[in-house]
Amino acid sequence: MSRLRGLDGRIRVPLALVVGRYFVLVLFGALLTVGGPWALFFGAMARGEVLPADWGSTHADETVGDIASAGHLDPDSLSTAYRGAQLSAVGSVLFSNMGEEALASAQTSVSSAAAAGETSARPGPDVSSGSYEQVAAVKLADGTWAAISWDMMPHWADRARDASWPNPQDLWLASTIIGTVLMVVLVALRAARVLTRKMEPLVAAANAVAADDLDKPAGTSDVAEVDDVLVAMERMRVSLKRSLEEQMTAEEARHKRIETLAHELKTPLTLVQGNAELLAADLEEERLQGEQADEARAILDATHRLDVALIDIISAWQEGERDGEGRLEPDADSRG
């Protein structure tokens, strides 16, 4: 339970639950997209609007019996599950709306039955040819044969609908596939939008650190794993801010020390330079002669070199301050 509560006592949701609910939505949506068309399909069969796939096989004997009783084949009176043909006693085609394979099978069956003296024929499907279409034939009173064929597919009971609409099974499959794809896309878009919103505090916290805005808190999230990362980022922000503040304080103190040291060095040097300028004036007016003049020139030269060295030292310290390297020692040339 500790992972389900934040540091401030907030209830947090595991990321697995956030993601898992979309899997549940997909499963529930699949039940709707598959079960909905399936229920409509079977409802249509229950109402007699659709003939089931085995309707032709189940009612074949009854249908050829009715044709034999009528003495002729009326294509318009056949169920939409059947196609019909009328053949002569020798198997010649008098009428047909069958497919080529079914018609060839009917001709072969009629020829075999006539040769054997039989009055009906119903061979099994020729599965070796990859076709599951079946035929049945019956001899009529006028000596001709009537044959019907059917396949193992559902059909619309209404002839006009069966001729113009897609096969019920194809329509069911298409609606199931299209519905499932649309459902998955919608759930994926919803999941992406929600997960993006859940990740927004992380993005905001990272952008704040990237922009050096260390005063902005990292924020919180109701997703446990995201909130854990935000807590870690908040600790990092506080630590980084404290470190930078300490560094700035140290740099300010070092800068003040450098300014103080520079002032303390330049103050006596200014006095020395003032005295050196007096000596320089005495030299120009030739009030100093001999050894005094040589010593005065040496003092002037040393004062000049000391001034240059001090300027170099202060410049080096200031440059080190800017580069974060702290106090730098002057090189040998600057020390003179």
The domain locations on the chain are: 2-47+168-210, 54-152, 224-335
How do residues 281-320 score in pLDDT, each as one tens digit?
766 666 666 676 667 677 777 777 777 777 777 777 767 6
**Mean pLDDT, range 64-89, rounded to an integer:** 92
Q: And the tokens for 120?
A: 């009906």
Q: 213 phi and psi, to 5 degrees? A: -95, 85
Q: Which of 58, 62, 63 is nearest to 73 (CA)?
A: 63
pLDDT at 334 over 60: no
More confident residue, 89 or 224: 224
Whole-Å CA distances, 232 to 129, 171, 174, 238, 239: 69, 55, 50, 10, 11
pLDDT at 324 over 70: no
Residue 4 is predicted with a pLDDT of 60
How do residues 76-85 score in pLDDT, each as one tens digit?
889 999 999 9
CA atoms within 13 A on the CB side of 160: 0
How do residues 180-199 score in pLDDT, each as one tens digit?
999 999 999 999 999 999 99
**Mean pLDDT, range 118-133, rounded to an integer:** 75
Distance CA(136)–CA(150), nearest Å, equals 9
Residue 1 is predicted with a pLDDT of 43
How do residues 18-40 score in pLDDT, each as one tens digit?
899 999 999 999 999 999 999 99
What number does CATH give the domain 54-152?
3.30.450
Confidence tier at 218 by pLDDT (50, 70, 90): confident
